[in-house]
Amino acid sequence: MSSRKGPFKGRTVAVVNDLSLDEQRYLYRKAGELKRLVRSGGDASEFRLNDKDYSVYLIFMEDSTRTRESFRNAAKFLGARTNLFDTATSSFNKNESMSDAVKMLYGYSDESCFVIRSKLEGVCRWLEESLGRYADICGRPRPAFINAGDGKHEHPTQEFLDEFSFIEQLGGRDERIHLALTGDLYHGRTIHSKADGLKLFREVEVDLVAPEILGMPAHYTQRMRDNGFLVREYESLDEYLASGKVAPIWYFTRLQLERMGDEVLEKAATLRKSVTFRKDMIGLLPEGTRFYHPLPRDRTAPTNPTFLDETPLNGWDSQSANGYWTRIALIAMAAGLLGADFEGEAKAPQAFEDDFVHEARVVQRDKPEYKVGIKPVEDGLVIDHISSGDSIRDIWGHLDAIRRMLKLDVRGGHGVFHNNQGSYKGIISLPDVTSFGGRDLKKLAAIAPGCTLNLVHEHRVVKKYRLSMPPRIYGFDEISCKNELCISHPTSLEGATTEFHRKSERGDPGGAKFVCRYCEREHAFREIWDL
Ligand code: CP
């Protein structure tokens, strides 16, 4: 085992946010130092691992030129063992799971870093979890996983090289940025990563330029606004250039035809026209404008056409080269080589408070409780205020779901009744049941947030608990991510445990949003359940 102990050792980068802003700044500082040293012929030995027991595995299950080759060259520069794992001829074709294959590779070296591109989303988060557990059992160092692009989710290392390039253009300043994102904003994962990557700048103005059908998914636009960005939207480059508020940094993307359905494909030519730059537009750009593009660009119909290649607008060639420097720095961090001089705020692990059970005041009444339509409970539990305010039909559905999910096939009753607000609520009475296990309590809170659980003794409510939406819902057979490309989707057969994190809660608990732990797809509360 190596003696390297940098603070980033074994860290996974599945999404941009896996590095704090200070950690991202550190990465850019190191990449800049390295680039200057090498370009000036200086001694860059502090950036070399020279360790053939450190393996960099390149697992590319989707095509790639830049990302794969820059990582391969970065690993060579570092002096690590480099393995290009050929997925086309591997046992993936014999239905081997990804975690089995990675576990096997992990066994071949002292320490390792896996660079993975996949159609499936959330793969690196899943492997971080499953291989992390395995490494702990073996008492060996946890491997690092670096997401080299997963479906249309994220491409964090592209984001790092993009931000590094923008900072270079801005002379090292990160106070403010005004940029235009154009092309296929719907499918472009490099675009989606900008919703977090641009937080590096203290003031951000983003102009989204794309026809509606290729527009930024609403949750990413919302995330940009939540991050304090000023966001403007335009349907075409013509409309944008006529706005008079044109950015000096443009980020083009190609139309990702391989990810489009037939309906969008039929319109591809018209759609492309609206986001393709023309010669007559040059005069409308602010002075010093530069264009960027993650590449590859379409050789038959590039949105940033070839007549721009030898003009000062071309920022994409140096941007592409920056992939090499930033990826050397990133692997060196993950290997524990860099990081001793890091100062600033480190990424804090995500914490969840199990704050969903709150004791409520018991109001004593002279008359027996819950007599309306339900036999009064002498001793037992009563679940009240179920789906309060929903339609009668929905409440019946939820009552049925609660009984099924909690396996409440015991004596008792349930029904729909008036609540105090003039609408309806559900009640389930469970005579003789005196407690719920913690897991069932969580399940109840997750399926019927807002309900109360009443402990009844000798016809009186002696304890009352109000259940709110748990911050994390996981480990139940009845939930699943609805993104078919997610690693946790039942069809992926990788065995990832479904897990949702609460994102927001409006007054109405049914309005809460949940994001999948792996692919970060946003789900409405009811959508997470398979009922
Ligand atoms: N920018 C990018 O990800 O390019 P490749 O698909 O060639 O890796």
Domains, the chain, ranges and CATH? 16-154+324-334 (3.40.50.1370), 156-315 (3.40.50.1370), 357-467 (3.30.70.140), 472-528 (2.30.30)
- How far apart are the C-alpha atoms of 500 and 524, rounded to whole Å? 11
**Minimal-distance CA residue to ligand 1 atom 1:** 294
Kindly state the tokens that stand for 452: 């109360």
Residue 368 is predicted with a pLDDT of 60
Specify burial of residue 485 (Cβ count, 10 A radius: 0-12, 13-18, 19+).
buried
171: tokens are: 């002379």
- Beta strands 290-292 and 380-386, pairing class: unpaired
Query: How far does the centroid of ligand 1 lie from the alpha carbon of residue 294, in Å?
Result: 7
Judge whether 525 and 506 are in contact, CB under 8 Å.
no
**Residue 366: predicted pLDDT:** 66
User: From the alpha carbon of 294, which atom of ligand 1 is closest?
Assistant: 1
Q: Give the strand pairing for 380-386 and 452-457.
A: antiparallel
Q: Identity (one letter) of the amino acid at 516?
A: C
Per-residue pLDDT of the chain (531 residues; tens, 9 = 90+): 788 989 999 999 999 999 999 999 999 999 999 999 999 999 999 999 999 999 999 999 999 999 999 999 999 999 999 999 888 888 777 888 899 999 999 999 989 999 999 999 999 999 999 999 999 999 999 999 999 999 989 999 999 999 999 999 999 999 999 999 999 999 888 999 999 999 999 999 999 999 999 999 998 999 999 999 999 999 999 999 999 999 999 999 998 877 777 877 888 889 999 999 999 999 999 999 999 999 999 999 999 999 999 999 999 999 999 999 999 999 999 999 999 999 999 998 877 776 777 778 877 766 665 555 567 788 899 999 999 999 999 999 989 989 988 888 888 889 999 998 889 999 999 998 888 888 888 889 888 889 999 999 888 888 898 998 888 999 899 999 999 999 999 999 899 999 999 986 555 555 678 999 999 999 988 899 987
| Matching residue, tokens 């800049």 | 32
Give the nearest ligand 1 atom to 148 CA: 3
Q: Tell me which residue has tokens 């057979």.
A: 477
Token reading at 380: 């037992």
Question: How far does the centroid of ligand 1 lie from the alpha carbon of residue 107, in Å?
Answer: 29
State residue 36's pLDDT score.
97
Residue 331, classed as helix, strand or coil, is: helix
**C-beta of 149 in contact with ligand 1 (< 6 A):** yes
Residue 100 in contact with residue 466, Cβ under 8 Å? Answer: no
**Which amino acid, residue 176?**
R
Query: Ligand 1, from 61, 62, 65, 165: best to mutate by most atoms within 8 Å of Cβ?
Result: 65
Longest CA span, the chain: 89
205 is written with which tokens?
A: 């103005």
